[in-house]
Structure 1
């Protein structure tokens, strides 16, 4: 986001997508948890309009610098081992929500877009983009939602995939110790921030999100008959 301050449509697309994405992510997880008879998320107040406990300063920092971040974990009843598959279904609803939002944004973009060339980070990529404010806005909604989906699947806490790794993993002392170090010791947070920020701070450092978001959007676009040129 820091590098798009002079582009109002892009900046607005990133901000709107991130805020909307976090709320829809939480709502999806709360509702699916309710369907599998876990009232814990609903009681936590994550369906309210407040932002308390939804975001961390570190996620906000990532959004400010690179344009995407993650939502904080929704409390769930994952203490009992026998409920781990119920919790898994609820947690996966969050990334799925990002994916559906990205698909919906591409569908909206299809209405207003036209062929052009744009920058994805520091790579020039052929894509579909109109010069209009609305087209740039809707495209960057899709880019941000797609990026949040990818971030949510990086398998280290505090992401959704990081939560699932230890939810579904073994219960050995070594595994529990790794979980403690990654969560309470914030090592997982350091790893996640490094993966997101190092490509921006050091030219040539590979970006996990940057390498995956374009193929992801092209794949989603193909589902609705929209072609994003190579």
Structure 2
């Protein structure tokens, strides 16, 4: 199972960061492109320590894509779209996974494939939806926090920036302490399965 998790996270992180870089580039910011981040090559996106943790505990993180909002003609709108592009890319990976899964079922190819293909697809689907939900949480340095930053008035944004370090600390406490059973875990036990079930029902009706 660990190899499936590792492969999924490497793909998910690379696509996630590429999506940030691509949208930023389309809105006029070539900072990420100039640093070689406008690519799907995992070696350009993976953080050394975050990658190491993937192999040790099956979870980690990638290097954030640099974004200079001053290159945007409409900084607020462009920044929101850049931020949301990452989580949406993970949701799209899940959608592609469901298309592949039900395509195999609909064509009958499912009967000739080994079981590990479906074990991998199940992990791929779950982790990408989980990353979609996780990255939309309103805590720094996650994308959900960045979206809120650009939605609120400028004076509120300034205050958020001032206290951002404390928000990051609170987030870590919620994630790595027993408090996660009241905060993060409910998302994984309710929201993620709900999204997966909705996608599953949609593609079942579409293909079968």
Q: TM-score range by the shorter chain?
A: 0.7 to 0.9
Q: Which runs of 5+ in 2 are unaligned?
A: 106-112
Partners of 2:73 and 2:26 in 1: how far apart?
A: 18
TM value normalised by structure 2? 0.76
Structure 2 residue matching 1:192: 3-state secondary structure: helix
Give the structure 1 partner of residue 176 of structure 2: 197
- How many residue pairs match? The answer is 195
The equivalent position to 1:154 in structure 2, one of 128, 137, 140, is: 137
TM value normalised by structure 1? 0.70
Structure with higher strand content: 1
Give the structure 2 partner of residue 87 of structure 1: 79
Asked if residue 97 in structure 1 is aligned to residue 84 in structure 2, the reply is no
Instruction: Report the RMSD for the aligned CA atoms in angstroms.
Output: 3.3
- Contact in 2 for aligned 1:40/1:76 (Cα 8 Å): yes
Aligned residue runs from structure 1 range 68-217, under 5 A:
68=59, 70-79=61-70, 82-110=74-102, 132-172=115-155, 175-182=157-164, 185=165, 187-198=166-177, 201=178, 205-206=182-183, 207=185, 208-217=187-196
Give the structure 1 partner of residue 2 of structure 2: 11
Partners of 1:195 and 1:111 in 2: how far apart?
A: 39
Partners of 1:76 and 1:167 in 2: how far apart?
A: 14
Asked if residue 44 in structure 1 is aligned to residue 35 in structure 2, the reply is yes
Partners of 2:78 and 2:55 in 1: how far apart?
A: 30
1:61 Cα shift?
5.1
**50-59 or 39-48: bigger deviation:** 50-59
Q: Which runs of 5+ in 1 are unaligned?
A: 1-9, 114-129
Partners of 1:92 and 1:59 in 2: how far apart?
A: 23
Aligned residue runs from structure 1 range 21-60, under 5 A:
21-48=12-39, 49=41, 51=43, 54-55=46-47, 57=49
1:106 Cα shift?
2.5
